[in-house]
Amino acid sequence: MAPVTSVKEALRSEAPVAALEVRGWVRTRRDAKDFSFLELNDGSSLRNLQIIAKDSLTNYGEIQRLTTGASIRARGPLVASQGKGQSWELIADEIEIVGASDDTYPLQKKGHTPEFLREISHLRPRSNLFGCVFRVRSRLAFAIHQFFQDRGFVYVHTPIITGSDCEGAGELFRVTTIDPQKPPHLPNDGGIDYAQDFFARRTYLTVSGQLEAEAFACALSKVYTFGPTFRAENSNTSRHANEFWMIEPEVAFCDLNGDMDLAEEMVKYLVRDIREKCPDELELFAKFVDKELTARLEFVLERPFQRITYEEAIALLQKSGRKFDFPVEYGLNLQSEHERWLTEEHFKCPLTVFNYPKEIKPFYMRLNDDGRTVTAMDLLVPGIGEIIGGSQREERLDVLEENLRRHKMDRADYKWYLDLRRYGSVPHAGFGLGFERMLMFVTGVANIRDVIPFARTPGSAEF
């Protein structure tokens, strides 16, 4: 029996093969006088394998009726191709039609807009562009694990259901089994009695695994999480989704400088890995998605990242002479347009901005000696803006308790978190890397909806 071979493996063959089997979906069919040409793709490669079906095949009449999207198995010898642009082709001894397709198949051989393809998210991985996107997504996920595993980090699975609002922004999806038509109430109209809920308290889908990762870093020294996170943020921008994946390392005995070093090292490592492992995909992105992609990725590898304080960043933006849509002043968060001006026009390279005002950052960030700023850092990249956000965490119990009071957060909800400062506290730091934003950066794809298999955005959960 002929061995089953992927299209990618067949195209990489170093010699003819007497017999093999390939399986996949028909991209196109061309008929000649005595045979038909089928272009077959199985998702393993951007390129197709040409199948030659001769009229001597017993089901040749059915083969001549095959349309784009049909699935087949083809068996026969792999031989040197006589056509241009391909090294190998398969001369079919047998073609089995597994699943027919018809003229309503929406992915025909023509250009389709990303907006249209989002409407058929269940079929868009069969297109060239999205096949490339999701192969790169797979490789990027592997490279992230490899990066941390090679450096002695322990992979920790943090909970998806949590009682903690890590960011303190209140943009949380509630997890409850309470019947909204008959909710249990506290006496004297004191609101809903969440002690009667499934977990006997208010619970949410996680916005971050950071707090739990800190607990493990304070035992295992170097850990990382990589999983889904959720934000109930009613934002319809090209950079935001309500369900996305985050990579969050946490390192004990580490300060802000060590945190920034790790973030830069990781970004360079991932760019280098994707350039090496996904050349065909990057070539397509550079040709059809972002013509500046190749130069930008090379620039990231060749030049050291810049570092400036938040205060210096505000001063540069105010002196730029540029009229921004959002105001620029000390005490306000940087917006995407500010971040992109800094990286794309002023520094023309990735940039880390650090030491932000304490008022605009979460409670867990370490207070600097000036009493005004915290050890926060954001890594900004051209084309995207912020891709990583992190900080040195506040390891001093008294200061952390004051931070909770200042943010009007209930200390009882964070008793376990305070215990980490009570029992053998150490300086520690970490960051969060938005997986989809990193994917946007290495592919040039401009909309986050196009790097997520089935995007979850406001008003959209169809698939």
Distance CA 151, CA 221 (A): 12
Q: What is the pLDDT of residue 273?
A: 98
- Rg of the chain over CA atoms, in angstroms? 27
pLDDT in tens, 112-143: 888 999 999 999 999 999 999 999 999 999 99
Q: What is the mean pLDDT of residues 226-234?
A: 93
Q: What is the mean pLDDT of residues 57-77?
A: 96
Number of residues in the chain:
463
Distance CA 459, CA 444 (A): 26
pLDDT range class, residue 410, cuts 50, 70, 90: confident
Distance CA 189, CA 455 (A): 39
Q: Residue 168 pLDDT more than 70? A: no
pLDDT in tens, 271-280: 999 999 999 9
- Domain range annotation of the chain: 7-99, 124-172+207-450
pLDDT in tens, 341-383: 999 999 988 999 999 999 999 999 999 999 999 999 999 988 8
Contact 95, 2 (CB under 8 A): no
Contacts of 317 (CB under 8 A, 6+ apart): 324, 328, 334, 338, 341, 342
Q: Residue 17 pLDDT more than 70? A: yes
Lowest mean pLDDT among 235-239, 246-250, 444-448, 457-461: 235-239
* Tokens matching residue 446: 């401009």
**C-alpha closest to that of 397 among 368, 426, 375, 377:** 426
Cβ neighbours, 10 Å, residue 343: 24
End-to-end CA distance of the chain: 39
Per CATH, the number for 7-99 is: 2.40.50.140
Residue 85 dihedral angles phi and psi, to the nearest 5°: 80, 10
SS3 398: helix
Q: What is the pLDDT of residue 169?
A: 56
Buried b (16+ CB within 10 A) or exposed e, 241-273: bbbbbbbbbbbbebebeebbebbbebbbbbbeb
Q: Residue 170 pLDDT more than 80? A: no
Q: What is the pLDDT of residue 223?
A: 98
Classify domain 124-172+207-450 at the CATH topology level: BirA Bifunctional Protein; domain 2 (3.30.930)
Distance CA 5, CA 20 (A): 7
* Tokens matching residue 61: 């009449």
Residue 170 dihedral angles phi and psi, to the nearest 5°: 80, 5
**Helix (DSSP H) and strand (DSSP E) numbers for the chain:** 13, 17
Side chain identity at 393, as an amino acid letter? R
Q: What is the pLDDT of residue 328?
A: 96
Residue with tokens 């990382």: 224
pLDDT range class, residue 262, cuts 50, 70, 90: very high
CA angle, corner 330, sides to 328 and 331, nearest 5? 105
pLDDT range class, residue 91, cuts 50, 70, 90: very high
pLDDT range class, residue 424, cuts 50, 70, 90: very high
Distance CA 254, CA 221 (A): 10
SS3 29: strand
**C-alpha closest to that of 302 among 272, 335, 339, 262:** 272
Q: Residue 336: how many CA atoms within 13 Å on its side-chain side?
A: 8
CA angle, corner 406, sides to 403 and 412, nearest 5? 70
Q: Residue 166 pLDDT more than 80? A: no
DSSP states of 329-377: -TTSPPPHHHHHIIIIIIS-S-EEEEEEEGGGS-TTBPBPTTSSEEEEE
Q: Residue 39 pLDDT more than 80? A: yes
State the pairing for strand pair 94-99/71-80: antiparallel
DSSP 327: -
Q: What is the pLDDT of residue 5?
A: 97
Surface-to-core class of residue 107, CB atoms within 10 Å of its CB (0-12 exposed, 13-18 middle, 19+ buried): buried
% of the chain with per-residue pLDDT over 90: 84
